[in-house]
Amino acid sequence: QVQLIESGGGLVQAGGSLRLSCAASGRSFNSLAWFRQAPGKEREFVASVTWSLGITAYADSVRGRFTISKDNAKNTVYLQMNSLEPDDSAVYYCAAKLVSTTSYLTDYNYWGQGTQVTVSS
The CB density around residue 64, as the number of other CB atoms within 10 Å, is 10
pLDDT of residue 34: 98
What is the CA angle 34-28-78, rounded to 5? 30
Does residue 10 surpass a pLDDT of 90? yes
Give pLDDT tens digits for 43-88: 999 999 999 999 999 999 999 999 999 999 999 999 999 999 999 9
pLDDT at 106: 86
The pLDDT of residue 14 is 98
Mean pLDDT across the chain, nearest whole number?
Answer: 96
CA angle 115, 109, 11 (to 5 degrees): 10
Q: What is the pLDDT of residues 23-32, one digit of tens each?
A: 999 999 999 9
Instruction: Please indicate whether residue 39 or residue 102 has the higher confidence score (pLDDT).
Output: 39
